[in-house]
Every structure is written in C-alpha cells, then in structure tokens.
Structure 1
Amino acid sequence: MCGGEGRAVRLPGAPECAGVFQQEGPTPAPAMEGKQDYDLLVIGGGSGGLACAKEAAQLGKKVAVVDYVEPSPRGTSWGLGGTCVNVGCIPKKLMHQAALLGGMIRDAPHYGWDVAQPVQHDWKKMAEAVQNHVKSLNWGHRVQLQDRKVKYFNIKASFVNEHTISGVTKGGKETLLSAEHIVIATGGRPKYPTHIEGALEYGITSDDIFWLKDSPGKTLVVGASYVALECAGFLTGLGLDTTVMMRSIPLRGFDQQMSSLVTEYMASQGTHFLKHCIPSRVQKLPDGQLQVTWEDLTSGIENVGTFDTVLWAIGRIPETRSLNLENAGINTNPNSQKILVDAQEATSVPHIYAIGDVAEGRPELTPTAIMAGKLLAQRLCGQSSDVMDYSNVPTTIFTPLEYGCVGLSEEEAIAHYGEEHVEVYHAYYKPLEFTVAERDASQCYIKMVCLRKPPQLVLGLHLLGPNAGEVTQGFALGIKFGASYKQVMQTVGIHPTCAEEVVKLRISKRSGLDPTVTGC
C-alpha cells in the first residue's frame, strides 16, 4: 500500500481545523508557492466526492468540486451526482420496483382484485418518470453545494502537478485550480469488449439503459455481474424477452450457493440463460435488428441469434486514464488501473487522497464511498481520527428475488477458518405473501455462517427473498458488532415476516436434516 509519508501538523496558534492543512513532506512545486485557491479540491461529483466536499465545507473549509461526464459511446450523458444517482442505484431500484409492481398486479386477482389480464407496460412512461426524478436529484445536488458555499466547476480535470489541476470545459476553455489537499473520487465506467466486432458500434451499457426513451425490446445481456442480473431481472419483469449470456459463474465474489439460487429463480420467471458462452461478433441487419454470433465453450459450436438490444455488463474500469496521475506522482495498480491508497485513503502523495470505486481494494458501493468521504473530511479538519472500517459491509442485489448479504460467504469462511471450524445454519422458507398467490418460493433461502465454537460468532448472513435489503440492514448492526448465533436465537421474531426466519434458524448443514420451514 502507498501513501502516508507526509504527517499532518498544526501550526502554533492556528485554529484547530485549519492547522491540519499544513503538511510535513515533499516541498510543493515552485509554481504552487504561496496561497492555494482552495483548502480542498474534490475531483468527481459522485456520492463519495460530494459527501466529502459538503462535510469539509460545513467544517469551515474553502472547497471546490470538479465534475465532468464524458458521454457514453452511444452519446448518453447526465448531470451532477455520479453513477448511483444517474445510471446506478437510483434508476435501477425504480425500474426494479416497476417490475415488482407487474408481479403484484398479476397476483392481485388471487386476493380478490378484479384486474384485467394480461397487463401491459409502457416503457416510455416509466422512463420519463424515472429520468425526471434523476434530474431533480441532479438539481438538488447543485443546490446543496451552493448552500454550503462549495464552488462547482463543470470541467474535465487532469493533474498539472501535485497541487494543481487543469480543467477543460465542453467548449474547450481551460481553467487552472490549485488546492492544499485534493480528493480523487472519479468512480468508474462500464467496460466494452472492444475485441469483439461490432461491440462498440451496436452495444449499450448500464450508462445507457436507464436513459432509453423507447423500450429496448428483445435484449441480450452479456455478463454475470450484479449489474447484468439486475438489468436482466427487471427487463424480464417488464415483459421483455431477455437472455443472459454467461462465460463462467454468476455473481463472482458472492456466495456461490446463493448466486445459483438467484439465477434459478430468474430462469423460473422467464429469463433465458446461455451458460458457458462468449460472443464473437455483433452485426446490424437491414431491418435494424442485431445479429449476435457466439461460441458455446462446452461444445465448441458456433451459434447465431437476433436481438433488438445488446447490453454489455462485463465489469467496470476506474476513471483514471485521463487524469494524468503521473504528473502528480500518484501510484496505481498496473493491472486494475485503480489508485493505491492506505488506511487513511491517502495515495502515494500524502496530501492527495482517493475514495470510492477509483481506489484499490475498496468495495464498489455508494454507502461506503459516502462514509469514507465524510470521515476523510473530518480527519482533514481535525474533528476526528476515525478511519473507514470496510469489514462487514452489508449489500443487496436487486434481482427479482432480492439477495442481501453481510460478512463472509460460506466459501470465504471455510477458506479462512477451515471447514471443521465453521457451522452453517440454513432454511428454505415461504413468504406468507407468496401463499395465496401460489408463487414459486423454492429459491427463498437463508443461511447464517458461524464459527462452530460456542458462542458461535456470526461470520456472515445471506438471505434470498422479498425485501432482502430491508432485512439485511437490521441484522448488519448486530453482525458488525460481534453478534453470536446464541444472541440471534435469543432475539424474538416479528410474525409474520421474512425477517423472523433468521431468528428461527435451527438446522445446520452438518446435521443433514431437511431445512424446509413448515407451518408457522
């Protein structure tokens, strides 16, 4: 890990917050002698960068935010707020909700509602509502920066030296800005498989799907990441013919038993899966459809299919290439291109920091970037010495059957502690809401990964079912602060809920007993 050589010191007689902005360490470049334009300059107007900027400004610092959205290859662009607000969490959850509502409408007749079937979905109307909400959030971020007297620059930044950046507007006008401390929070963008013929010309990514004015129609989603499965899930839920092409395993890095259950449920709801397949070519036909050629890695046979839309969801790359990091002496991982940071979020240059998706070894999650940004601002202002704790961070994948998790996967626990020292309690359960509507609940499943030795510290919790995020958030508190299996079992459940199934986990995998929940 890099960074941390410079030590913050307070000048005699200086205010408590201001003093931390004086550094021991490398002497600034001659061009930067004298007073800087800003105490803190944040590059990137996403969740982490905005949180850091607003916190520092509230603590009395002179702060600027530089943000610029390079349009996607398809020409999609958006406003202030970063990936989460514009092309991530927010529009994704709203479209997920649209799909869930379709399922509820189909359930409604079982509950006595006279709803004409089949129901039709209007993509254009949904998209307009989602996009209007996102635009309101863009505006809200602008207002919040203004209220906190944070200067906002809509310019594309690159480093001139370790204290100065050059920013270029859309019209080509250049601005030079300097700061005593700089935070890089530029996030990442979706990968394109540029080695595949037609991929760039005819494909789209998650940067585009949420801003489409018209329905994508029959869609091929290439990839098995959470982005791929979430998008495929809501597209299927909205009534679109959707296929997922997977090269290897789904949800790499997540618990693989849970990942298999996620894809099994999606398949049961109508999503098609092409497993162990890789695309080789995308061509546009005279009628406008896209012809995709792919290879089945198991048989070696080449196949062809036609789609209206091809969505690439094969991972993300950090937005570091245009920053000219070498001008400031900032080290990156040569493989990932992410910025190397220490526990204080400092780069190899002590007064330059990196937070969020652009930093090496950090979870690519909005809430962790926000908290890291706030804590960094507080440390820079001498208000706190707390550093971000990245252990036991909860998250949820918003597939049709949601997957919430916190802590270690079963594979990680066994690898770390040994199978003989790990106890896994599990249960298949049926949400009460699924009963009257006669919904398939065969993939609704919970498991708690624990140490076998009493009191059996909880190492991880994994839940597949409705509202998994809401359930996981509550249990994350206990797991974060060292809850044991015994303590969870002493917790009274709320009946009838899916969450109560967690505190009723009595059957271990080791026992070999049937984990299916029956009755109340």
Structure 2
Amino acid sequence: QQLLCGENEVYDYDLIVIGGGSGGLACSKVRASQITLSKPTLPPDLHLSSLGGTCVNVGCIPKKLMHQTALLGTSIQDARKFGWELPEETVKHNWETMKSAVNNYIGSLNWGYRVALRDKNVNYINSYAEFIESHKIKATNKRGKETFHTAAKFILATGERPRYLSIPGDKEYCITSDDLFSLPHCPGKTLVIGASYVALECGGFLAGLGLDVTVMVRSILLRGFDQEMANRAGKHMEEHGVKFLRKYVPVKVEELEAGTPGRLKVTAKSTEGDETIEGEYNTVLIAVGRDACTGKIGLDQAGVKVNPKNGKIPVNDEEQTNVPHIYAIGDILEGKWELTPVAIQAGKLLARRLYAGASLKCDYVNVPTTVFTPLEYGACGLSEEKAMELYGQDNLEVYHSLFWPLEFTVPNRDNNKCYSKIICNKLDNDRVIGFHYLGPNAGEVTQGYGVAMKCGLTKEQLDNTIGIHPTCAEVRLITDQLQAAFHLSCSPLTTIGIASTMLYRLRPQKKKKCVLKK
C-alpha cells in the first residue's frame, strides 16, 4: 500500500488501468518503465481470457492476415501471366488451415503480452471491473470470485463491442466480426449487413477467397470517409464479384437448416418504400458499427459523465474525464479516432504526463488510416466534403489522378481503377489538408504522406520532392508536370511506369478533365 503525499487516503495502488487492449497495455507498460510500483491491468468483459483487445484478437491482425490471403489468391492468377506454369485446375483455398494459422499467431501475441507485463512487474488481474465508488472497484473473475481494489488514479480503456440489429433472429443466427475470424468452418454464401469499413473489409476478403458475397447497405458506404473514394472502392468490389443490395435494411433472420454452415433466410425492407425482399444465405455477418463498453463498469457510481446517446466519454485535451483522477483513452472517447495506433499513442503519452513529468499531448489531427478493401484505401486529413464545409469551395484546390500500377500491367487488370487526390487550402499557402489514395499497399503509401502532413506539407513542397520510380507513391509527385501540360495544350502524354493516367485539376465549382493516353 502507498500513502500518497498531501492526502490522507491510503490506496492499494497508485494507478489501475481498466482494459487489456492496445491502449491499456501501452499505458501500463510505459507506466511500469517510469516507476516500479506494480498495479493491476483489469480487462473489461470483452476479452476475459486474452490480452490485446479487439485489434489483436478479432480486429486488425486477423483482418489483415485474411485480406493478405485473398491478395495471394489474386497473385496466383497473375503469376501465369508472368510465366509461372501452374496446374490448370482451379487452386482451392482451405478455410480451416487459414483459420488455424491465424489463430496460432494471435495466441503467440497473447502470450507475449502476458510475458511483457510480468517482466515490467505489472500485476495483471483477469477479471471484470466495476466501480463501487470513485476510488474503488470490484473485480469479478470468470468463476464469480470477487476482490476489491483501490487506487489514486484510474485509466479507462475498455474499447467497444459489435452492435447488433435488435431484430428477430439477429443474436440467435447471425455472427459479427468477433466471431468470423475464429469461425470453425467456411462461411459459404455470405450476407454482410452494413457499410462500415469492417463490413467492406470482411466482404472483400471473403469474396477474394471465392465465396458468394452480398453487402446490404442502408444508405452510403464508409460514412465519415471521403465519399468519392468510398464509392470508387465499392465500385471496384462490385466489378470483382461482390453484390450490393442498396437502400435495404434487414427486418428478420430465420433458420432454415442447421449445419456448418447452415441455411438462413433474411427478410429485408426498402428504405424508400414498402417493398420487401427475401434471400437465402449460409452466413449472415452483422457489421453496422460498435458500441462503447461503458455501460456495465459502474461509471455512475464513480460520477463519470457519459454521453447517453452513444455511451462515449467526453474528456479534455489531457484525456481527463469530469472526475479529475479518472482518465479515458481509445475507442470510448467522444469525438476521437477509433484506431489502435491512436489508443496506443494516447496511452503512452498519458502515462508519461502522469508519472514522468512529460507535457506532450496526443495530437488527433491528420491521423493516417487505411481501409483494407480489395483495392485498399488510405487517407490522412480531411475528406473533400469536410474541407468544403470548413473552408468553402472557393478556397480549395483539389488535384486528382487515375493511375495503373506497373504490377497490374502485365496481367492486364484494373486499368485506371486506382486513384489518388490531394486537397489544398489556398488560404494557407496551398497546405495539403487532405490526402486520399486508392490502390495497392495503401497503408505503406499513406504512412509517409501522413508524416509529411504532420510537418505542414504544402503543394509546392510536394512538387519539389523527387519520387521513387516506378512506384505507386510517386503518382502524387508528378501532378505539377502533368497539370502544367494540361494548361498548355491538353495534348496526349506518356507517363513511364504508371501507364494510361488521367489527371484533372478541380476548382470545386467546375471540374475539368484531361485524358492522358499511353
């Protein structure tokens, strides 16, 4: 026990971190490296048996590995055009082999996290945490045993869980992304309900494995992202076999036949009228968003304010809630990015501020991210819609280009499907306020531009940067040359390595196009 200076209270620990995900782990490990006093890291109810949270267990890691599995299938088809003599019969995919390999890797990560906590003298308690009062929690393990712990400070990092639909049959017969990555059998013909990035990523890699996939969309794709980019990503998915049911919502799910997989009937209603449709599927995957895990941890007992509409926690720029000794990080924050690297960064910096005398705060501006659709979408900064809302159409300059990656040319696929654009603020020296890229290796490409934007990248600096050739990343570095040619004559040009490129410079009131032919 520690007697805190200047206070008359005696607490078991100086800090308790509630949540075993990426943010909570990062905070705990940094805290432990600053001061040797041990503390418990209490996971909430979402992962009682494994550390790492959503990202490691049922999110980023298995999603990216299964996305890579689908890309390998495409590469096998491309290989023939590059001279590889493969068997004529169709190459088959084995779901069970993939699932076992992915889960074995996740298991190794879980073990590594546990070892890391032990090495840093962090007291890990695998229990469900609930506040009894503002400085005291009750921890209940899976056997029902209760223990009580007090602390001077708390950090909430409880994350989110998938949202269900509240319709007949959803919880009985449907799965979420939490279930998909450990599904013991191939899902077969699949209906994905939702248009979130989780929906499109899962639908995309399932289709890439050769499955019959339909995505049911209530309104728009990738709400909150640039809509031109979202629609291009969706169009590419359609061209590669994914079916979209637009302007429909499910109203009922029924089981027709049990099995692995079984058969389900889905009834859906139009959002634009009274029309209803029915369809049969082997698996129904719900991906309509996630809810913050804040409703069952006793925040009312601690006096922590929560947005009643979404369960999110408002914090100040120090990640501090309305209760001064209780902080929050990660997906449960109101108005912040729901991304693993953001939670990790916030957790590290918070621990350093609290215990190492640091002052640096988490910067939530210009956060790069990638949606791992079959044709990947990377973004950093503002969408075109948000930029227009903030700065006005007349004050923006938007540069666009379609391109054909060199590696796509020999197999002759996806010509002029890849696309990128930058959004510049004319009021601020043509500073780049939005970067958007649709193409291969989007995460690797976007990360570098994210660093540049964090340093205040302008269009002039971009134009003066020499690109690496031939790469997809250089597309954004040749816009000045091509745009100048457009203003001179719009004559046909050739770009070496990036073939058949179209470029147009957009002033928001009037979009001009110039086709550059190979």
Q: TM (normalized to structure 2)?
A: 0.91
1:435 to 388, 395, 409: 409
Query: 1:490 deviation in Å?
Result: 0.4
8 Å CA contact retained: 2:44, 2:158: no
Return the offset for 1:36.
Answer: 1.2
Contact persistence 2:378–2:446 (CA under 8 A): yes
The residue number in structure 1 matching 2:513 is: 514
Q: Structure 1 residue 83 and structure 2 residue 82: aligned?
A: no
1:462 lines up with 2:436 in the alignment: yes
Q: Does structure 1 residue 319 correspond to structure 2 residue 319?
A: no
Aligned partners of 1:407 and 1:461 also within 8 Å = yes
- Work out whether residues 243 and 272 of structure 1, in 8 Å CA contact, stay in contact via their aligned partners in 2: yes
Deviation at 1:345, TM superposition (A): 0.4
- C-alpha distance in 2 between matches for 1:484 and 1:22: 49
The DSSP-based 3-state class of the residue aligned with 1:181 is strand
2:10 aligned to which of 17, 21, 35: 35
1:59 maps to what in 2?
34
Deviation at 1:442, TM superposition (A): 3.3
Map of 2:206 onto structure 1:
235
Select 2:83's aligned residue among 109, 112, 115. 112
Q: Which of 148, 151, 165 is matched with 1:179 structurally?
A: 151
Pair 1:151-2:150 in alignment: no
SS in 1 for 2:257: coil
Q: Secondary structure at the match of 2:185?
A: coil
Moved more, 158-167 or 58-67: 58-67
CA distance in 1, matches of 2:128, 2:49: 14
Counterpart residue identity of residue 55, structure 2: C
SS at match of 1:207: helix
**Aligned with 1:205 (options 171, 176, 191):** 176
1:452 offset after TM fit, Å? Answer: 2.5
- AA aligned to 2:379 is C
* Matched position secondary structure for 1:508: strand
Paired with 1:351 and 1:447, the residues of 2 have a C-alpha distance of: 44
Q: CA deviation at 1:459?
A: 0.7
CA distance in 2, matches of 1:452, 1:425: 13
Deviations 1:90-141 (CA, angstroms, capped at 9, x unpaired): 0000000000000000111000001124211100000000000001100000
Partner of residue 497, structure 2: none
The alpha carbon displacement at 1:318 in A equals 0.4
Q: CA deviation at 1:443?
A: 2.5
Matched, 1:417 2:391: yes
SS at match of 1:425: strand
Distance 2:379 2:194 in 1: 21
Question: How far off is 1:509 after superposition?
Answer: 1.6
How big is the shift at 1:69?
Answer: 4.1
Per the alignment, residue 227 of structure 2 pairs with: 256
- Aligned partner of 1:10 in structure 2 is none
What amino acid maps onto 1:509 in structure 2?
L
2:368 corresponds, among 370, 385, 394, to 394
1:286 deviates by: 3.4
1:332 to 280, 297, 306: 306
Alpha-carbon distance in 2 for matches of 1:176, 1:375: 28
Answer whether contact 2:49 2:126 (CA < 8 A) is retained.
no
Using the TM superposition, give the Cα deviation of residue 386 of structure 1 relative to its aligned residue in structure 2, in angstroms.
Answer: 1.0
CA 1:517–1:65 in structure 2 vs 1: closer, same or farther (change >3 Å)? farther
Conserved 8 A contact 1:51-1:370: yes
| Distance change >3 Å, CA 22–CA 363, structure 1 → 2 | farther
Superposed displacement of residue 336, structure 1: 1.0
Query: Structure 2 stretches of 5 or more lacking a match?
Result: 484-503
Aligned counterparts of 1:341 and 1:373: Cα–Cα separation in 2: 14
Question: Structure 2: how far apart are the matches of 1:383 and 1:454?
Answer: 35
Matches within 5 A, 1:218-297: 218-286=189-257, 288-297=262-271
Identify unmatched segments of 5+ residues in structure 1.
1-17, 28-32, 72-76
The code of the aligned residue for 1:478 comes to: A
Give the distance between the partners of 1:348 and 1:164, measured in 2 at CA: 17
Residues 217-226 or 451-460, more deviating: 451-460
CA distance, structure 1, for counterparts of residue 38 and residue 125 of structure 2: 14
* 8 Å contact kept, 1:69–1:78: no
Amino acid in the other structure paired with 2:53: G
Query: One-letter code of the match for 1:476?
Result: G
Alpha-carbon offset, residue 455 of structure 1:
3.0
Task: Tell me the equivalent position of 2:142.
Answer: 170
CA distance 1:441–1:326, shift in 2 (3 Å)? same
Contact 2:23 2:329 (8 Å CA) reproduced: yes
1:265-317 Cα distance to aligned partner (Å, 9 max, x none): 00011111000011111000136300001112335321111001000000100
**Cα distance in 2, alignment partners of residues 69 and 186 from structure 1:** 8
Identity %: 51
Q: What SS does the corresponding residue of 1:99 show, helix, strand or coil? A: helix
Aligned to 2:10, what secondary structure does the other structure show?
A: coil
Distance 2:226 2:424 in 1: 14
Q: CA deviation at 1:464?
A: 0.2
Q: Structure 1 residues 286 and 450 mapped into 2: Cα distance closer, same or farther (>3 Å)? A: same
Q: 1:43 to 1:495 in 2, by over 3 A?
A: same
Match of 1:307 among 277, 281, 287: 281
2: CA distance between counterparts of 1:54 and 1:235? 36
Look up the equivalent residue of 1:246 and give its one-letter code: V
Q: How far has the Cα of 1:383 moved from its partner?
A: 2.7
**What are the superposed Cα offsets for residues 316-365 of structure 1, whole Å, 9 maximum, x if unpaired?**
00001110101110000111111121110011110110000011111100
Q: Does 2:467 align with 1:493? A: yes
Contact 2:505 / 2:513 at 8 angstroms: preserved in 1? no
User: CA separation in 1, counterparts of 2:68 and 2:513?
Assistant: 33
